[in-house]
Amino acid sequence: MINPLPIKNGLNPTRVQVPMDEGAPVKAIDFLSRVIQNQRHRHPNDDEAAVYQRFLDKEVVLDSGEPVAPDYEVPPGRFLNFYRRPAPEREVPGTLGLLYEDNDLLVVDKPSFLATLPRGQHIAQTALTKARIQFGIPELSPCHRLDRLTRGVLMFTKRPEIRGAYQTLFDRREPQKTYEAITDIPNDPPLWLVDLLQAFCAPALRGIPWQQEFPLVNHPDVQPGCQQHAQQGWQYNLHQENAQVPEEISEVEESQPWREREQPSRKRPWVLRHHMVKVRGRLATYLTGDEPNAETAITGVRAFLDTSSGPAPATRLAWRLEPHSGRTHQLRVVMRSLGMPIVNDSLYGFISNDALQRPDGDLPSPAFVEDEDFTRPMGLTAKELSFRDPLTGKLRQFTSRF
């Protein structure tokens, strides 16, 4: 169905139906006033005068596009279309960074704290609304979603007629997604991780034990070359592994505790399988011992100097994750199940083992949206997205700059 009203300020018009149990036709202005008054998140100035102004501006229409008068009698079952006025929202910092654009697609880097789609209290402060305004393309539509706290690659279609082909591609879970999860350095790391940490800054620290120098904050012996290594090491490792990966990949034994495993790589990934349950109304996903319904491969890890997760830099780990299913909070739960929650995860960073494994466990209370600390984004990035284009057959690959 084509919208009888155009997209305005990046937002679609709202379509509401007079309930069938209304019993009799109702005046359009009375019905619309009732709908707006019952709106949970609405602008405080959206009063009777603002409702009436919509009719004067011919912005209350039937599905045919015909404007209706305030005293028009709307029969039960008939639809009205109008524009909502969302409540004021706290401005999310950062911009949508353009990664790629052609006649069909727009690909951006979405910052943390920005929802993908308008919903609930997040309307104007969403990637879709901001992208439509920033790039001047009202018909943009996301092909997939990223959680509000996750940053990274987000892809939109630019024309309605091609939207279905790309959305179907994601519905079938054909694209390959790679994420990067940032964690603190665990206590009592295994030997391979100790070696990784020592090698990370070896050119600068000249034999100083890693236990004495991590985190690398204001260390007198840290040289600029160490920070460059931190930024470049991941891509270097990727190229090294891509050149050496054999056709057959063997998994690390799943039942083996992670500290007893060898370092994860694309050649020897850690493949973690869980049964995850997300109950409507419960904030967190929990794990059961049932047949697995979620699978995640950990295919790499690197040490780096993290300058974006807080006010002070710190040496942390970045884990490369490849989800093979799409459960709610899947990657956040996986890292917490290993005892290494993602940095600045306000839910799973504080959840107890009891609450992680039982639906009635007491949950932590993350800050309300208006109280969130924008200087501490959650350390989860949608790093890479690749797929076979459904229209051209060409291989597409996009990489986040975060």
For residue range 359-388, list pLDDT tens digits in order: 999 999 999 988 999 999 999 999 999 999
Yes or no: say if 320 and 298 are a contact pair by the CB < 8 Å rule.
yes
In angstroms, the CA 202 to CA 192 distance is: 15
Q: Tell me where in the chain the CATH 3.30.70.580 domain(s) lie.
A: 97-174
pLDDT of amino acid 199: 86
Which band of pLDDT confidence, cut at 50, 70 and 90, is reported for residue 400?
very high
Closest CA to 74 of 105, 28, 106, 7: 28
pLDDT of amino acid 256: 77
Phi, psi of 125 (to 5 degrees): -90, 65
When mean pLDDT is compared across 56-65, 210-219, 241-250, 304-313, the lowest value belongs to: 210-219
Q: Which residue has the tokens 């040496």?
A: 315
In angstroms, the CA 65 to CA 46 distance is: 23
The predicted model gives 170-195 an average pLDDT of 94
221-250 burial, b at 16+ Cβ within 10 Å, e below that, comes to ebeeebbebbeebbeebbeeeeeeeeeeee
Q: Tell me where in the chain the CATH 3.10.290.10 domain(s) lie.
A: 14-82
In angstroms, the Cα distances linking 166 to 40, 43, 183, 398, 400 are: 33, 35, 33, 15, 20
By CB atoms closer than 10 A (0-12, 13-18, 19+), residue 83 is middle
Helix axis angle, 224-244 to 191-200, nearest 10°: 130
Average model confidence (pLDDT) for the chain?
88
Residue 225 has pLDDT above 90, yes or no: no
In angstroms, the Cα distances linking 115 to 101, 112, 173 are: 21, 8, 21
Helix axis angle, 28-37 to 48-56, nearest 10°: 130
| 268-291: pLDDT as tens digits | 999 999 999 999 999 999 999 999
Q: Candidates 1.10.443.10, 3.40.470.10, 3.10.290.10, 3.40.640.10; correct CATH number of 14-82?
A: 3.10.290.10
By CB atoms closer than 10 A (0-12, 13-18, 19+), residue 206 is exposed
pLDDT of amino acid 208: 47
CA 184 to chain centroid: 21
The predicted model gives 149-174 an average pLDDT of 96
Residue 202 has pLDDT above 80, yes or no: no
β-strand partners of 126: 115
Q: Look at strands 151-157 and 380-388 and give their pairing.
A: parallel
The secondary element (H helix, E strand) that includes residue 106 is strand 105-110
Yes or no: say if 82 and 67 are a contact pair by the CB < 8 Å rule.
no
Size (the chain), residues:
402
Instruction: Kindly state the tokens that stand for 15.
Output: 């379509």
When mean pLDDT is compared across 68-72, 177-181, 195-199, the lowest value belongs to: 195-199
* Topology, domain 97-174: Alpha-Beta Plaits (3.30.70)
Residue 143 has pLDDT above 70, yes or no: yes
